[in-house]
Each structure stands twice: as structure tokens, then as C-alpha cells.
Structure 1
């Protein structure tokens, strides 16, 4: 009999095509007219969240690999020519953030800081422990982290299960004052957020949240949510989306706490990293839109996701939702799984892929025809 941990790993690993990083079929990626996709870096094992240093270094976390990388484009040809492994054998260091010259790395249960790292590379500074009071549960324990406009470090803590009712800090998004170590619960009832960003005008936190499994192919949807007040509740595990009762944990009184999503993203799409596009390279109509990386389904009868989606806003109202980059899924087989997006100083959009072990660069050039 398979051990439960091994069985879970097998279930969470969708069928994929084995592809050499030197032969990634980027010609299969469909983008709007004028856009193109190229390889920014390959052999970035299990590439997850990215962060941009002040000097242009792209830092990349991983989950299964346990590594943290630095990618450097020293000759400014829009492709990394140096890759430095900053750390190895960490506990799912999926998420990282760059702030005031230092790199912050999130393990499942700890936050580390590498001070003035760009100034010392290729020498790697000794990491400094910032915070070590996070739960050590690996199920949904990997993190996406980011500093907010308030200077605090935002840290999601996923539910340690498919669906369960566990006490805080599980199923929440926290913010940490890295100097005083004070922690505030920003959002509750959040099953598993692995992507968030802050609205460029309001500063409000917007985040993706993965819906629970085992309710069929089409329920419930992943969500795009918005925090309008500290401590807001987003329904999990009692109710999903706007009013879908959980078959195991529904409580009519607790369900009243639910904040409806700004947008339902589709069931099982595995919406992960997201970012408001504030670059100047893309056409003006893209400015302020949200790009969301959908990692793709693992237990749906026919696969969905495996793409980059675009959400158009007017103020804080969603007015459109459509594919931006597709093609990592071919029929029922995938050759890649987008994880996160990152806008570069020139306005190009990087996309990490933890299945193809790659980082892509999507750019725009106006066409005359």
C-alpha cells in the first residue's frame, strides 16, 4: 500500500509531456497580436515566485526543489546569462520578496532575510532569521509573500487540508512588521492564496484563492478577492464563492461572514501568482489590468488552466476576464505550468514555470500590418 504522503504527491502531479528545456515548444503559445514570448532562463528547477532586485536581478523561489536562485542578465540582451543558487534544501521556499536592498525568503514555517544581497553577489550573505512562528504544516504551507504599501510583509497561511475548520493562523493572510514582529490578521476564511498584489490607486489587497477539491468538475470556482477592511472573512470552509454551501462544513450563521469574490475564475484552474500591470511597454489598454497565472487542474476529468489570464478593471470593478497567453496545455497533456508573473523595468512580463523549469519573457512590439 502506498504511504499517504506518496499518494498525495502522485495525485498532485498531473500528466505532462517530458520536454527538454532546450526544446520548449514556445511556438505553441498563443498571444494577442504584437506580443511574443521568449525564453528568459532555463534549467531553473521548479521555478515559482519571482522578485526583482534594485539592480535588475531576478530572484526565483522553488517548492519541491528547495532552492532559491538569482538570475542575472549581465549583457542586457533580455535573457539571463548567469544563474546563482542562493540556498538549497530549504522547506518549500516558494515565495520571496525584495525590499530595501534585501531579499526575504519564505519557508513554510520561517522567514529569512539576505541583507544587501545584490551588492555581495556572487558571494551570498549569511541569512538572518526574521520570523519563526509560522505553522510547519506542508499541506498548502508554501507561500507567496510581498511587501505592501504600508511597508509590512504580507504572508498567507493556507489550510492544512483539502477542507477543514482549523484555528488561526490557518486559512488566513497575515501581515508582519519585520522590525517589531507584530502580526496582524488581514483576511480570514482563505483556503489557499498563492498570489496577491495591491491596487495601484487604492492600495487595497487583491488575492487569488484556490477552491476546494472533491465537489465535482465545476465546483467551486477559484476566486479573485479584494480586502476592504482588516480581518475580513472570505467564507472558507463554510461557504464557497458567493453562496455555495460546503457539503461538510456549512454553517448558516458562519456563512453570513462570507465576502463574495470580485470574480469567479473557474473551478480547478489553480490560480496562483497575480500582478497589476504597471509597465509602459504594453499598449495603454493593458495598464492597470491584472495578469493571473493559472497553474492548471490536477483532479478534473478534463484539464483546465495552464495559461495566463487577464482581468480588466474600471476602478475596482471587474469588467472583463479573458485569456492572454495559452498553449501550455495541448489536449489533455501539458508541457508547462505557469506559476507567477513579474513586470520588468522595460515593461516586459516574466512568467515562471515550475514544470518546464523555465522563466519566459513576454514582450510587445507594435506591428505595421
Structure 2
């Protein structure tokens, strides 16, 4: 019953919180500003071919389109392009079309950027996904193989449902050839492909009710199709589940590349491939950490940078902090997405806003490496 109450609380989110940019801290040379402040429960972000910023949400089933017509770095129009959908958190743009996740269904809005004022009705691409609401909302993205990747979270805090849940799948853009990519993933709400290697990396949320400091959320790399990352038997790569781990060995599963911290709620993540930020950010992973809900002392509520050398983690450092003070949060980062100029957007579903991070310090606007 407790988990059901939590789930209902998450679905019935409160009104947007006030925005306090003055409380945020970024490295020297970085700046953050409001890109749009009329996007209730803003979640995943996708960028259209013409620069439209699409934002999924869980606000009355709405999907938003933000446009910056004069190029000043602030959206001057916010449109609702779909409504009445079931938790349309995930958005992905491809060949003029916007794909939207709606728990059990993947929908598409055709030729959307040419019809923002009179958007088409969503068309069904696939209804092959579970209807379970627990971890049912989905971050989606197209991979370098042209396939749409769709996670299926565990329908529980911790349970064993075989290979029907707790995995990442992929399918063709028309919904055909649905196949499994990786297993043992409790709930991934963010993933991207590493430049150069093309390998899939993803964040995953650890289980609850094992205490304040156990287990950690994780950052993971898929090196082959069909890998198993351990859920529900092994958590954070080294800790057996007190119930489901009996008779299991963590060494039998793929270990995470990095422990992100307990209950930080790691969600949207992207590799930084732009040239506005310093060279040290090239190829780094930016991760939105939505923040804990059941920890004695809150964790997360920040955007982090993970620097890599190949598949080895070099550092794990803050990019934006200050969405929480004195154990009270006014903002909860949900996704990160790069704009063509190399600046980065951050969605905040608590404040109902999208922010834009820019850099004008040494090395800004560097040419391609």
C-alpha cells in the first residue's frame, strides 16, 4: 500500500514551484537562464530539425512545442501540440516526425514542425508495451541504427517478472521487429550513445526500502546485446538483494561503470558533443538527477558531469547545483538536451520550466576537435 500511495502522489504532482535561479551554482564561466517557464511537469526534451524544442510531460497528458523565433535564447512561444495522453513523458524526433511515449503505446505526430499551430492527431506506432503504471512512463530515443529504443521498467519496487520487464527494447520506426537489448535494468529514464564507439550508455534507478545509503543509482554501458545488469538479484554491481539474491552471484551480471549515489534518481542523460563548453566537456556525459523522495537526508537535485576516457570514468562532478536548500527543493532536473549552438537545456518538472546553460569563459565557442 505504501508503494501505491507513492505512485499516486507522483502522478498527481503539485503545482509548479517558484523559480530561484539565484540559488543555483555552476562552474566559472557558465551561466543559466530561463528558456521557458510555462511548461508544467516538463520531462524529456527533443530538438526538431528546425530548432523546435519539444517537451514531454505528465501534466494532463500534454506535449509541448517551444519556439525561439528571434534567436535570443529564450522561447517566445509555448504551444500544446497534444493532450489527453497517458503520461507522455518521452519524446523523440526523427525525419520530421515526433514520437511520443504513452505508457503502453508509442505514438507519432507526423510532419509536426510544419503544423505547430494545427497539430495532427497522434497516430499509433505500437501498443506492444505493458499497461502497468509503476515505472510505466518511458524515456525514448532513436539510436545510430535508426531504431527507437524503449525501456520497460519493473512494475514494482523489487520483483522478479522474468524477461517481460526490467529491460530496454528497440524497434523499427514503424513499430516492427521489437526486440530486447538488455535485461536486469530496474528502471532506466535516460540513455544515449557514445560518440566514436556508438555504444549505448544508460542511467538506472536503484531499488527503494534498503535504507538511506543502499543501493546506489548507476551509470552503465551495454557492450553486447542481451547483457544482464542484475536486477532484481544484484544491486549496484556488488550487493545481493536480501530476498531475490539468494543463491545468486553479482559476478554473473554486468557491473555498472559508475555508482551515482543512493536514491539520487538519475534520469535524463546525454553525451555532450557541442563546442561551446570547454574542451574538457567534449564527450562527457551530462546527467539530470531528479532527487530522492524517501531518504532521511535528500540526495540528487542537481545536474552532474561524468568525464570518460573510452569506457573508464575519470571524474564525476557537479555542473548545476542548488535546486534544494535546507532539505527543501524548489526544482527537480528531469532531462538535459544540447541545442545546435552547444548550449544545454535542462527540464525541471517541479518548477515547470526549461533552463538554458551557456558558457562564455576561456575556450568558449571552440572549433571542432
TM range (shorter): over 0.9
Q: Pick from 152, 158, 169: which aligns with 2:153? A: 158
Distance (Å, rounded) in 2 between the aligned partners of 1:4 and 1:259: 28
2:219 counterpart of 1:224: yes
SS of aligned partner of 2:80: strand
2:346 counterpart of 1:351: yes
* Aligned equivalent of 2:274: 279
SS of aligned partner of 1:50: strand
Q: Pick from 323, 330, 333: which aligns with 2:325? A: 330
SS of aligned partner of 2:98: strand
SS of aligned partner of 2:252: coil
Distance (Å, rounded) in 1 between the aligned partners of 2:115 and 2:59: 27
What pairs with 1:276-315 in structure 2 (closer than 5 Å)?
276-315=271-310
Q: Is the 8 A contact 2:57 2:63 kept in 1?
A: yes
Q: Is the 8 A contact 1:234 1:257 kept in 2?
A: no
Q: CA shift at 1:120, angstroms?
A: 1.8
Pair 1:52–1:166, CA change in 2 (3 A): same
Residues 228-286 of structure 1, C-alpha deviations (whole Å, 9 max, x = no match): 00010000000111220101111434745311000000000000000000011101111
Q: CA shift at 1:65, angstroms?
A: 3.3
Q: Is the 8 A contact 1:17 1:333 kept in 2?
A: no
2:113 counterpart of 1:118: yes
Distance (Å, rounded) in 2 between the aligned partners of 1:11 and 1:38: 27
> Would you say how many aligned residue pairs link Structure 1 and Structure 2?
363
* Aligned equivalent of 1:341: 336
Distance (Å, rounded) in 1 between the aligned partners of 2:65 and 2:329: 27
Q: CA shift at 1:183, angstroms?
A: 1.1
2:169 counterpart of 1:187: no
* Aligned equivalent of 1:247: 242
What pairs with 1:246-265 in structure 2 (closer than 5 Å)?
246-253=241-248, 255-265=250-260
Q: CA shift at 1:322, angstroms?
A: 1.1
* Aligned equivalent of 1:238: 233
TM-score w.r.t. structure 1 length?
0.94
Distance (Å, rounded) in 2 between the aligned partners of 1:44 and 1:237: 35
Q: Pick from 75, 81, 101: which aligns with 1:80? A: 75
2:3 counterpart of 1:27: no
Q: Is the 8 A contact 1:198 1:206 kept in 2?
A: yes
Pair 1:261–1:84, CA change in 2 (3 A): same
RMSD value, Cα: 2.0
Distance (Å, rounded) in 1 between the aligned partners of 2:342 and 2:151: 27
TM-score w.r.t. structure 2 length?
0.94
Distance (Å, rounded) in 1 between the aligned partners of 2:3 and 2:248: 34
Pair 1:351–1:145, CA change in 2 (3 A): same
Q: CA shift at 1:115, angstroms?
A: 1.1
